[in-house]
Structures are given as structure tokens and as C-alpha cells.
Amino acid sequence: MSSLAPDEFSSEVTYLNTASYALPSARALTAIRDTNAQWAAGRGGPMTNDYLIPRLRESFARLLAGATADDIALGSAASQLIGPVAIALPPGAEVLVAEGEFSSVTMPFLHRGDLVLRVVPLERLIEEVRPETALVAVSVVQSADGRMTDLPALRAATRAHGARLLVDATQAASWLPMTFADADYWVCSTFKWLIGARSVSFFAAGPEATESLRPVSPGWYAAADPWAELYNPVKLPTTTRRFDSTPDWLGVIAASAGISLIEELTVEKINAHNLELADRFRVGLTDIGLSVVPNGSPIVTVPGAGDAAPRLAEAEVITSARNGGLRFSFHLYNAAEDVDRALEVLAAE
């Protein structure tokens, strides 16, 4: 099984670490190089690529079925985009989160200081939603071990109890089909499975969900007409774009290149490719006597094996140690040879 985009990537190692940071595509590197060359020549800086931002909103909206470009804001980090949701909750409100959840999801609520943060096992999250719950915040796919959330079932539970649902799709976008109506609020960083940039993240929410939210320290780019209101700010837009922060245009270039490749390949093909590799790896791990955390994602974690990460790195198999486990992640630039190489190194221990 070959990679899905052999001409777009040029890794010299067995790179199985997309859950930490994706490899850059050739089109992203070319676009950034050309922009930097123009910038250095004084013929136009990164801001001349501002036209890419409406297109980027539209692209992410297409990945989030049922969303529109008006539902999408751009920021630099998921936690920053969660801020308005955290601030809008009344003092004492209960926020339900999963045990072991990535800290960017929990910290905006934990450190507000006057909310009730209730932590439960991921497997019990749906049944633990109760009338006192104001908000559930969870990742679609868990960073540490790839376990997945049943979003439609969780959405039904939150609606039944009048709670809002915020989800982080950073470990899911590009390979997992997503539906806008499955949550009130979505955040997603682009530098992992969307093969984008560390400085670009999305916030998606509809008018009803954002009605009670206010931007936190809005900057010039959040204005209704940013370029016309540089020195005379008048109003914020009524759409979700009012939560924009000033973009890193080089990051936007990289994110646009990455998401264009995702759309060309399609989520369906990437899903089949990634899961086939992950399943092949799981079978191989069982054959050499290693266990895995059960999940249905392209993230495969071997519990208690985190100490093996340096040895794998010496063999040029790049993974991550997370929460005591050894985490592998398979994406569109990986192939069956990568699976077999990782198993070979693990078996040689």
C-alpha cells in the first residue's frame, strides 16, 4: 500500500507522529518560499495573501458538513478560541470533561476559577450528563490514545438535559467525517491532521450558539470591515467571524495548501487509507505480543511502552511518548512499509 500523495512529501524517516505535528506538503513549502521571496524583494509581504482567508473558511466549512463560511472564525490556538465560551458561563456552572482530556480543552474552564469542573471517564461521559451540566467539553478523538467520542449519542444527551456541547476536532479533522450539527461549538487546530500551520485554528458555531458570546479583546481583524475600520472602528460583524484574531498570513498560506490537498484526496479516501494502516499495525503488534488501547482511529497507543520512544527515534522511527504509552499515528503520507519498519524495530527489542 503506497502513500496517498507520494509527490507532496519527502520525509527521510519513518514518520508516525502526525498526532503531534504533521509533515509539510510540497505545495505549502513552495507557496511559503515564493511569498518570502516576494517579501524579501519588497514586492509584497504575507498580507497580500489575505484573499486566502475567505477560501480557508469555506474549505473548513465543507469539511464540517452543514456549516457555512459565516459560521467559521480563525484564531491562533484552540484554547484561545474556547475563551469566549468559558467566559460566557455563569459562576458555578458545571462543565463536564473526560478524564485524561488534552489540557487545552480543560484549562480555559479550570482556570476561570469559579466554575465546577467535573471529570469522569470518557466511557461514562454520555451517561454522566445531567440537568446541572451547563457544558460538555471533549475531543472528538483523544490525543493520548486515540479513543473516540460517540458525538451523535453525546449530542442527544446534552440536548436532553439542556447542556451545550463543545468539541475539539484537532485529532479528527481530515480523516473523520464530521457534521456541524453534532456540537454547538467546534475548535480545530490545523497543524496536525489538516497538515497546516501551528498558528492557524478554527472556531465554528452557528448564530444561536454564539448569541450570548462576546469576543475577548477583539482586534482590528474582527471588525465588520477590517481594512476600512483600521483607525475608526465601528462595529463587529453579526457572524462568527467576530471571533477572528489577526491572522499569521504565512500560517494561512500553509493551512490553505494543506486543506486543499485534503479536499483533493477526500476525507473518505484518507479515512480508508489511515485506518487500513492502523489496523495492519494493530495486528502486527498482537503478533509480537504487545497490547494496544482499543479505538477506531489511526492513533495506535501501546500502554506502558513510552520509554521505547528514544530507541525508536535512534532507528529513525518517529513516534511520541504520551501519558506513559507509546503513540503511533498514521496519515496520508504513510505506507505499509512504515508499518512494517515500526514493527521490525519494536520486535528487535
In the prediction, which pLDDT does 102 show?
A: 97
* Cβ atoms of residues 338 and 16 within 8 Å: yes
User: How big is the chain, counted in residues?
Assistant: 349
Topology annotation, domain 30-264:
Aspartate Aminotransferase; domain 2 (3.40.640)
How far apart are the C-alpha atoms of 258 and 174, rounded to whole Å? 10
Q: Which residue has the higher pLDDT, 293 or 349?
A: 293
Q: Which three cell numbers stand for residue 334?
A: 504513510
Q: What is the pLDDT of residues 150-200, one digit of tens each?
A: 999 999 999 999 999 999 999 999 999 999 999 999 999 999 999 999 999
Report domain extents, the chain.
Answer: 14-24+267-347, 30-264
Distances (CA, A) of 304 to 109, 266, 282, 318, 322: 30, 35, 16, 17, 9
Query: Does residue 51 register a pLDDT over 80?
Result: yes
Q: Does residue 25 have a pLDDT over 70?
A: yes
Which of 321, 348, 313 has its CA nearest to residue 15?
313
Cell of 16: 508516525
**CA trace torsion 245, 249, 250, 256 (10° rounding):** 90
Give the pLDDT band of residue 45 (cuts 50, 70, 90).
confident
Q: Sign of the C-alpha dihedral, residues 61, 83, 158, 146?
A: positive
Contacts of residue 13, defined as CB under 8 A and 6 or more positions apart, other chains included, come to: 316, 317, 318
Q: Give φ, ψ of 168 to 5 degrees.
A: -105, 120
Phi then psi for residue 89, to 5 deg, are -70, 145
**Hey, what amino acid is at 86?**
A
Q: What is the pLDDT of residues 92-125, one digit of tens each?
A: 999 999 999 999 999 999 999 999 999 999 999 9
Strand boundaries in the chain, DSSP class E:
14-15, 64-65, 72-75, 94-98, 116-120, 133-139, 164-168, 178-179, 185-189, 201-205, 299-302, 317-318, 320-322, 325-329
Shortest CA distance to 164 belongs to which of 215, 217, 211, 100? Answer: 211
**E strand or H helix at 34, and its extent?**
helix 26-40
What CATH code would you report for 14-24+267-347? 3.90.1150.10
